[in-house]
């Protein structure tokens, strides 16, 4: 049975939010459009999209925001223009930056800017990491939280020091805020407080929010308008943005309000995992409503365990699995959302026992 079918037939699902099938989702979108008398935008002009852009901008304390069809397009465009403005095409990024890991060298092959990997791969940035760079930087791109190391956050004092460093040096500070909504609960601060001091911010409309796709880029009105022109040049000028805006706007307030509950459920999950020390958790304590589980089995075995639990017990433990740094180990990611929130404590305990038992039954790791 293909992976999506396996997951759909499970009654106990750990990661993320419940995924609506297209007919259910489109029906909910249609009903929301009826209630709110929604019309299509035309190339981004229309009350629905422009009001939502302004809502997001105001929430984060920025002058303006613009929709972009993908975060991949939004981020490299913002960093390209920012570094040009500072007369240095050199952009500092963490080694685990989405731009390095998932964007197929777009910044390089499309000649957007030159990237410099700064800091240690397995920990968040320190201000000292940037202070040690002898080159004149045009821009700095900081991910909050850092997904590839389990959703870790730079300590608040370090974040403030990074902001001061960039402001003092005249460096454009950009936030990869794909999961900024999640970081607010981890920091115990509002999103505007986190975003204060950044020159531009990208936020996702589909990750934590659960929309169809798309992103928002925030900054000054002049900067955002220049970025929007570059989106058009790169093929991002779709005639109707309304499906993406509706899918995000209709659940935006509800999902943001639920973030503290997701974070509390993440704390509960950490407590439950203490009974299974063979499953190592990163970070050591919750910093956002996501985490990585380091398993003493190879990636292929981890996927086999996942699928067997789905077929035999109706339990879906995780989505993706990655090879671990050590032989015969793997890493899986959990995003804590509506699914885990809706499960009873007993269901979580039972699923973890079955998962840990299956790992133990795999025997000693083979190199």
Tell me the angle at which helices 242-273 and 22-36 cross, rounded to the nearest 10 degrees. 120
What is the distance between the alpha carbons of residues 80 and 215, in angstroms, rounded to a whole number? Answer: 17
CB 80 within 8 A of CB 277: no
Computed over every residue of the chain, the mean pLDDT equals: 96
Quickly state the pLDDT bin for 366 (edges 50, 70, 90).
Answer: very low
The correct CATH number of 3-16+255-360 out of 3.30.460.80, 3.90.1150.10, 3.30.2000.10, 3.60.15.10 is 3.90.1150.10
pLDDT at 363 over 80: no
Same-fold call for 3-16+255-360 versus 41-239: no
- Average pLDDT (81-106) is 97
Question: 167-209, pLDDT tens digit by residue?
Answer: 999 999 999 999 999 999 999 999 999 999 999 999 999 999 9
Quickly state the pLDDT bin for 5 (edges 50, 70, 90).
Answer: confident
Q: What is the pLDDT of residue 364?
A: 56
Q: What is the pLDDT of residue 362?
A: 81
pLDDT at 1 over 70: no
> Where in the chain are the domains?
3-16+255-360, 41-239
Question: 221-276, pLDDT tens digit by residue?
Answer: 999 999 999 999 999 999 999 999 999 999 999 999 999 999 999 999 999 999 99
What percent of the chain lies above the pLDDT cut of 70? 98
- Average pLDDT (31-47) is 97
Quickly state the pLDDT bin for 2 (edges 50, 70, 90).
Answer: low
pLDDT at 210 over 70: yes
Contacts of 156 (CB under 8 A, 6+ apart): 187, 189
- Average pLDDT (325-350) is 98
CB 104 within 8 A of CB 128: no
Question: 299-333, pLDDT tens digit by residue?
Answer: 999 999 999 999 999 999 999 999 999 999 999 99
Question: 130-139, pLDDT tens digit by residue?
Answer: 999 999 999 9
Give Cα separations from 40 to 64, 75, 210 (angstroms).
21, 26, 21
| Cβ-count burial 53-62 (b if 16+ within 10 Å, e if not) | beebbebbbb
41-239 topology per CATH: 3.40.640
- Average pLDDT (66-82) is 98
pTM for the complete prediction? 0.96
Starting at the earlier edge strand, list the strands of the sheet with 114-117: 64-68, 215-219, 200-204, 172-177, 139-143, 90-93, 114-117
Bridge partners of residue 143, in order along the sequence: 176
- Average pLDDT (61-84) is 98
pLDDT at 367 over 80: no
Quickly state the pLDDT bin for 346 (edges 50, 70, 90).
Answer: very high
């Amino acid at each position: 049975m293909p992976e999506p079918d396996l997951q759909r037939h499970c009654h106990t699902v750990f990661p993320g939010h419940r995924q609506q099938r297209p007919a259910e989702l489109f029906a909910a979108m249609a009903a929301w459009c009826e209630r709110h008398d929604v019309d299509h935008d035309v190339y981004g002009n229309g009350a629905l999209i422009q009001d939502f852009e302004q809502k997001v901008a105001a929430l984060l304390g920025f002058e303006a925001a613009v929709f972009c069809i993908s975060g991949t397009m939004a981020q490299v465009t913002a960093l390209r223009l920012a570094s040009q403005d500072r007369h240095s095409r050199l952009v500092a990024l963490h080694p685990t930056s989405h731009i390095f890991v998932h964007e197929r060298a777009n910044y390089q092959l499309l000649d957007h800017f030159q990237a410099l990997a700064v800091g240690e791969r397995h920990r968040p940035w320190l201000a000292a990491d940037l202070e040690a760079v002898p080159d004149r930087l045009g821009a700095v791109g900081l991910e909050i939280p850092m997904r590839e190391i389990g959703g870790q956050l730079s300590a608040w004092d370090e974040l403030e020091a990074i902001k001061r460093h960039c402001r003092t040096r005249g460096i454009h500070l950009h936030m990869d805020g794909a999961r900024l909504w999640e970081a607010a609960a981890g920091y115990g601060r509002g999103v505007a407080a986190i975003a204060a001091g950044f020159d531009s911010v990208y936020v996702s409309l589909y990750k934590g929010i659960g929309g169809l796709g798309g992103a928002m880029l925030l900054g000054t009105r002049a900067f955002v308008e220049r970025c929007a022109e570059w989106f058009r040049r790169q093929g991002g000028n779709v005639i109707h943005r309304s499906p993406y805006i509706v899918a995000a706007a209709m659940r935006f307030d509800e999902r943001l309000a639920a973030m503290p509950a997701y974070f509390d459920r993440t704390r509960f999950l950490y407590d439950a995992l203490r009974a299974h020390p063979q499953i190592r958790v990163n970070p050591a304590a919750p910093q956002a409503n996501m985490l990585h589980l380091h398993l003493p089995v190879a990636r292929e075995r981890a996927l086999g365990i996942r699928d067997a639990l789905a077929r035999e017990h109706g339990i879906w433990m995780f989505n993706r699995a990655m090879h671990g740094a050590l032989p015969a180990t793997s890493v899986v990611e959990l995003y804590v959302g509506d699914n885990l929130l809706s499960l009873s404590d007993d269901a979580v305990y039972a699923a973890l026992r079955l998962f840990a038992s299956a790992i133990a039954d795999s025997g000693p790791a083979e190199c």
